[in-house]
Amino acid sequence: MLLNVVVMSHVKATENTISRCVVSRDEQGEKVVPAKEKGFLRREIMLPQHKIIFEPINIGKIQLDNRIVLAPTHVGMGDEKGMVTDQYLCYYYTRASGGVGLVIVEITGVTGRYAFIAGRGLGAASDRSIPGLRDLARVIHWGGAKAFIQLAPGHGAQAMRHHKQRPLGGPSDVSALVQKDGLPKNLKGIIKEAPERPHPLDVQEIKGLGGEMVRAAGRAKGAGFDGIEIHGAHGYLLCQFTSPYYNRRNDDYGGSPERRWRFSLEIIRDIKETLGQNFVVGYRFSAREWIPDGLDLPESIEMAKALEGAGADYLSVSQGCYGSATHVFPAGEGAMTEDAAAIRKAVSIPVMCPNFQSPDKVADAISNGSVDLVALSRPLLADPLWARKVKEGRPEEIQHCKRCYQCIRAAIVDHVPARCPVNPKLGFERFDPQGLPRPAIGQGV
């Protein structure tokens, strides 16, 4: 029990320096860290209201140390071929060692057959990706977090760039909805070219893409990842299959809600059957698409039950698509929590959602039963030490994201590596001694 009692005592920190310690009656787990004040040491204590954030939790057979997750966040630090670079290793090591319980590596492509959104992201479409993925899983483990990777079978109608030699594939020939009004200034042009109509994938192509997902998940497992997350959110291919707006089919993969969900459910079942029930498979989806005739919460709740029934080990609740991008990246805080809470009531597997900044709000959402875990994206771009600062009782030192949208503009609109004015080290972790991956004792290869 932390009693939050501050006792002043004098300890000898160096030969010449008398230092001050702040201690509590329960010293378990406390760390001594140098204080800002010159010549003093300060013992940091987690604030009692934040304790719940650091309770362990199981996802499938995997135990996480705490409830903070690095949300999948495409930062565009790979090479032209989608391979892991040293910069990626240092970027992910920095987030893992910043105290999160789980790192979910960003959207990763599983095939080069269809048009995609370029931008130096990651791929797991061939065995050539395995050595890089192995290093990536390893440095995340060295940092002290569990490692999942988000896999996507395609970008559907939203794949608008760099696809000259590759066809656009979607559930139906419905082009991506572009909504110019209401987007933050920096996101205008999220789809720059005139929307094209994708070709409706036939059943053989759908089965082929399902097979690519299973093979990519196998590569991730072989590389040492603890699990994968299926990207069914934000208007990409699987989201378009589940969407009543985008999916106009009338076959086994469209026509009723159950048939629209079918592609996603089959992928979960096939990965579980191929890789074993113990390999964690999560599913991320937009509970509301926020477009006319788009997926809405009541149907999402039913879909969530079906995803659990198919074997999903956790659900990650998001919102929106490119036609409603402000809902994917809300300017405020807590926009997804109510939806996550409604979904959590309907299932018995862990549920997470993003869009938090304040540790108090994170702790409230966990303690009032809205979510089991919290996925932070922009807060961990702006401050990779978010979790450690909360754990060490210094939340006031967190560098907060100021919602300037520059990271999104860079990585998702302009297809260049993400940068952040709040955290000038973002993208330069390979030059920062703190960002250099190093194993702890016993973690050598």
Ligand X SMILES: Cc1cc2nc3c(=O)[nH]c(=O)nc-3n(C[C@H](O)[C@H](O)[C@H](O)COP(=O)(O)O)c2cc1C
Of 355, 384, 387, 423, which one interacts with ligand X (CB under 6 A)?
A: 355
Distance CA 83, CA 139 (A): 15
236 catalytic? Reply is yes
Residue type, 371: V
| Per-residue contact string for residues 274-303; x = within reach of ligand X by CB under 6 A | ----------x-------------------
Told to check if 376 binds ligand X by CB under 6 A, we report yes
Of 160, 237, 382, 385, which one interacts with ligand SF4 (CB under 6 A)?
A: 382
| Contact by Cβ (8 Å): 150, 284 | yes
Told to check if 120 binds ligand X by CB under 6 A, we report no
Told to check if 42 binds ligand X by CB under 6 A, we report no
Size of the site for ligand SF4 (CB under 6 A): 12
Told to check if 406 binds ligand SF4 by CB under 6 A, we report yes
Distance CA 245, CA 139 (A): 41
Instruction: Encode 386-416: b = buried (16+ Cβ within 10 Å), e = exposed.
Output: bbbbbbbbbbeebeebebbbbbbbbbbbebe
Measure the N-to-C terminal CA separation of the chain; round to a whole number of Å. Answer: 38
Told to check if 98 binds ligand X by CB under 6 A, we report no
| Per-residue contact string for residues 413-432; x = within reach of ligand SF4 by CB under 6 A | -------x-x----------
| Contact by Cβ (8 Å): 53, 363 | yes
The SS3 call for residue 234 is strand
- As a residue count, the chain comes to 445
Active-site option among 88, 236, 245, 405: 236
Our measurement of the distance from residue 414's CA atom to the centroid of its chain's CA atoms, rounded to an integer in Å, reads 20
Q: Tokens 């809470």: give the residue.
A: 341
Give the tokens for residue 14: 């160096």
Cβ distance to ligand X smaller for residue 263 or 405: 405
Cβ distance to ligand SF4 smaller for residue 197 or 402: 402
Cβ distance to ligand SF4 smaller for residue 201 or 335: 335
| Contact by Cβ (8 Å): 219, 105 | no
Told to check if 404 binds ligand SF4 by CB under 6 A, we report yes
How far is the CA of 257 from the CAs of 91, 222, 315, in angstroms?
A: 39, 34, 18
Cβ distance to ligand X smaller for residue 44 or 289: 289
- Name residues contacting ligand X, limited to 222-281 (CB under 6 A): 231, 233-234
Question: What does the binding site for ligand X look like in residue numbers (CB under 6 A)?
Answer: 71-74, 106-107, 150, 231, 233-234, 284, 318, 328-329, 354-355, 376-379, 407-408, 411-412, 418
Q: Point out the residues that are catalytic.
A: 236
Question: What does the binding site for ligand SF4 look like in residue numbers (CB under 6 A)?
Answer: 378, 381-382, 401-407, 420, 422
